[in-house]
Amino acid sequence: MRKLINLTTFADLGLAETLLRAIDDEGYRTPTPIQSGAIPRLLAGDDVLGIAQTGTGKTASFVLPILHLIAESDKRRLARTAQALILAPTRELASQIAEEIKRYTRHRRVAVAIVVGGAKPGPQVRALSRGVDIIVATPGRLLDHMSSRAVDLSETRFAVLDEADQMLDLGFIPAIRTIMAALPKQRQTVLMSATMPKEIRRLAARFQTNPVEVAVAPVARPIEEIAQSVVAVGSASKRDVLSQILAAKDVTRAIVFTRTKHGADKVKRHLDGAGLPAAAIHGNKSQAQRQRALDAFRSGASPILVATDIAARGIHVDDVSHVINFELPEVAEVYVHRIGRTARAGHTGVAISLCDPAERKLLRAIERLTGKAIAPEAVDAAAADERSSRTAADADEHHTPRRRHSAPSPRGEGGRGAPRPKKPRYRGKSPSPQKGRASHGSGRTAA
């Protein structure tokens, strides 16, 4: 067997020349650990069970070998069929994957259909009718097209279940079972998941054949570039504290997380009223509304995005300076996903959580998961308006600590004012094993 650890360049991995050129255009220098673990195995025809979170380069780890194998086969497209199916839990993640495919196919085009809910089915049916190379889909809408026979999966040789743990949380497993049953038995299946609960292992055993397991960067470790802090606040003061935090100069682009769709709308209205125009994104919005909100956020027209967890899954926007947890998540691991929206692409970031007394147990669960106490930060709700004429001396007299603009990072750096370390764009900073963050090709799981 080849030693995976020695494969240090994309050319070593055996990818086609057109892909190598696209990778070079992207500026990727070396494969990330999930890529050097998964790509050779997929090219060799194996199934892969990947334990990797967003930011590790996981998308390219399955997209690149699939593109290579599709190009190699040069199979004629049959009506309504696709050679590869990539399933994602949210529309945003699906569009993100499709965009990434587009970038890697600059020098050799492939036909991709995006099949997601919230968009008109007509154009999707037309795109599928001629047959495509790859379908990127969310499960519900794909099922609709399957039952109306707009799509035929009998020729699909590659299947990917991306963010499988999230699909499980969203109740997509019955839909996935139906979809997988429509695929041929002779196929390659990739399952990617940030976490590996028993149910996901069971799914892998059911849908995969003797998969190779590749594990990188455990989800329970928030990346070091994020300065995390928590503000103890009564629930009634949360909105004022939030506008105070967001009004600070160092907040250039922020995502505010709420637990509910209704809560997201309320927070957006409050911020609009406070002169801090925000876009909102959640499951009740149409695809077009979600896309508009995301575009406004990405372009900087709305530097604040209020989001629920489900809608936020596929948001990959670099340069998010702050993540604010308006409410703490019920599931501790979601916290790690949320704060991972900042400090992307080698930047530093700040994550501030507002915690009311009823949420203290959620905070403790997060600290247990991450193995680290989150530093308390003082925000004076009464002094919410930084533009007020109160002086620092006044504040001292009233024993009201002034808020720091950004919590210090664990390495003692400031927030966005601090010089940014140059790093590769993916999250796993270095494939060096001494960090203990990556282990590849740890052998085959019992299927």
Q: How far is CA 165 from CA 53, 200, 219, 256, 283, in A?
A: 10, 7, 12, 23, 18
* Rounded-to-integer distance, Cα 444 and Cα 161, Å: 18
Measured from the CB atom, the residue of 39 and 153 that comes closer to ligand AMP is 39
| φ, ψ of residue 235 in degrees (nearest 5) | -60, -30
Quick one: 239 or 344, whose CB is closer to ligand AMP?
A: 344
What residues make contact with ligand AMP under the rule CB under 6 A? 28, 31-32, 35, 54-60, 316, 424-426
In the complex, the smallest distance separating the C-beta of residue 45 from ligand AMP, rounded to whole angstroms, is 23
DSSP string, 53-117: -TTSSHHHHHHHHHHHHHHHH-PPPPTT-EEEEEE-SSHHHHHHHHHHHHHHTTTS---EEEE-T
* Residue with tokens 């609009």, as numbered in its chain: 272
Helices (H), 274-424: 287-299, 309-312, 332-339, 360-370, 392-397
Looking at the Cβ atoms of 9 and 252, the one nearer to ligand AMP is 9
Least separation in angstroms between residue 314's CB and ligand AMP is: 9
Coil vs helix vs strand at 235: helix
DSSP state of 143: H
- Whichever of 93 and 115 has its CB closer to ligand AMP, that residue is 93
Q: Do residues 212 and 41 lie in contact, with contact meaning Cβ atoms separated by under 8 Å?
A: yes
What is the smallest separation between the CB atom of 53 and ligand AMP, expressed in angstroms?
7
Nearest approach, Cβ of 414 to ligand AMP (angstroms)? 25
Minimum CB distance to ligand AMP smaller for 295 or for 318 = 318
- Report the residue number, 28 or 221, with the smaller CB distance to ligand AMP: 28
CA angle 381, 344, 241 (to 5 degrees): 5
Contact indicator for 56, 64 with CB cutoff of 8 Å: no
| Alpha-carbon radius of gyration of the chain | 23
Minimum Å gap between C-beta 216 and ligand AMP is: 10
Nearer to ligand AMP, 15 or 82 (CB): 15
Closest among 199, 82, 63 to 134, alpha carbons compared: 82
Contact 313, 229 (CB under 8 A): no
* Residue closer to ligand AMP (CB basis): 32 or 353: 32
Q: How far is the CB of 60 from ligand AMP (least distance, A)?
A: 4
φ, ψ dihedrals at 370, nearest 5°? -85, -10
Beta carbon of residue 92, minimum distance to ligand AMP (angstroms, whole number): 12
Per DSSP bridges, beta strands 438-439 and 212-216 are: antiparallel
| Nearest distance from C-beta of residue 315 to ligand AMP, angstroms | 11
CB of 13 to ligand AMP, least distance (A): 10
CA dist 351 to 144, 223, 343, 376, 415, Å?
39, 11, 10, 12, 10
User: Which residue number, 59 or 124, has a Cβ lying nearer to ligand AMP?
Assistant: 59
